[in-house]
Amino acid sequence: MFVLPESLIPERRVKAIEWRRANPLGALAFLRARGNLLGLASVYFLFQLAQIVLPTIFVLYTGYRYGWTPRILGFHLHGHGVSGIVVQMFLVGPVVARIGERGAVLLARTGGIPRIPALCPGPQRLDSTSWGYRSSRR
């Protein structure tokens, strides 16, 4: 483990914590006072909720519908996680440098469209698009 040095200059550091201001409801009051941020924060909350719920629903659905075992699900989620790490480490920087931040966001959002057929119902569709995993139930 390593420790990074403080990056905030000493003049801007807080001398003492004001516990009166350190509360979760203060963040909601801050958002309410700035109406344009409230919508953005709400959309971001829903986006994060969907991202957190997706693996759980995926595990339950594929286990029930296709009979995937915990081992197969583990391999699948592991591969998904590793591929995400590889993309973030080696692909994001060059893509942003080449097409800009807006272009990279648009590319990422539309890049998921070809994966939609993998979510279509039917064991033959899921079997043919998920790295050769076979369903034990037909």
| pLDDT tens sequence across 5-25 | 888 898 988 888 888 777 888
pLDDT band at 85 (very low <50, low <70, confident <90, very high): very high
> Is the model's pLDDT at 131 over the cut of 50?
no
For residue 9 the two structure tokens come to 């200059």
Q: According to the model, what pLDDT value does residue 128 have? A: 43
> Is the model's pLDDT at 123 over the cut of 80?
no
Tally of CA atoms within 13 A in the half-sphere of 33 that contains its CB: 6
Q: Name the one residue in this structure whose structure tokens are 């296709």.
A: 66
Q: What sign does the CA torsion over 39, 42, 48, 49 have?
A: negative
pLDDT, average across residues 90-112: 89
pLDDT, average across residues 41-54: 88
CB 135 within 8 A of CB 66: yes
